[in-house]
Amino acid sequence: MDEDEEKKFSKQIIGKTVVSKTGKRFGEVGDIVFETRSGELIHIVLANPTAYTEKLELEKDKSNSILIPFSAVMAIGDFMVIAEEDIV
């Protein structure tokens, strides 16, 4: 992905609702963390996490935002669907 594609991609997914494949709401995509050299997507930073998500003790960044590994993402459509078993 070149820089323009990355910007387009991040604009398309920021603000999407994050749900598990069982339908549990996690919050919204607030930001994306990626490896600058390779462009590999590493984490999704969760915005407006739900009470359910707060209880899960997921990885957090320095500003206490919840991080979801990009490897847990299964599909991106109207929602971003994640495999909950890959993150807990």
> What is the pTM (predicted TM-score) of this model?
0.88
3-state secondary structure of 44: strand
Longest CA–CA separation in the chain, Å: 37
% of the chain residues with pLDDT over 90: 70
Residue 1 has pLDDT above 70, yes or no: no
Residue 81 has pLDDT above 80, yes or no: yes
Average pLDDT over residues 69-76: 95
Average pLDDT over residues 45-71: 94
Residue 2 has pLDDT above 90, yes or no: no
Q: What is the pLDDT of residues 18-31, one digit of tens each?
A: 999 999 999 999 99
CB 16 within 8 A of CB 31: no
Q: Which CATH superfamily is domain 3-86 in?
A: PRC-barrel domain (2.30.30.240)
What is the rounded CA–CA span in Å between residue 79 and residue 76?
6
Q: What is the pLDDT of residues 36-50, one digit of tens each?
A: 898 888 999 999 999
What is the rounded CA–CA span in Å between residue 8 and residue 37?
18
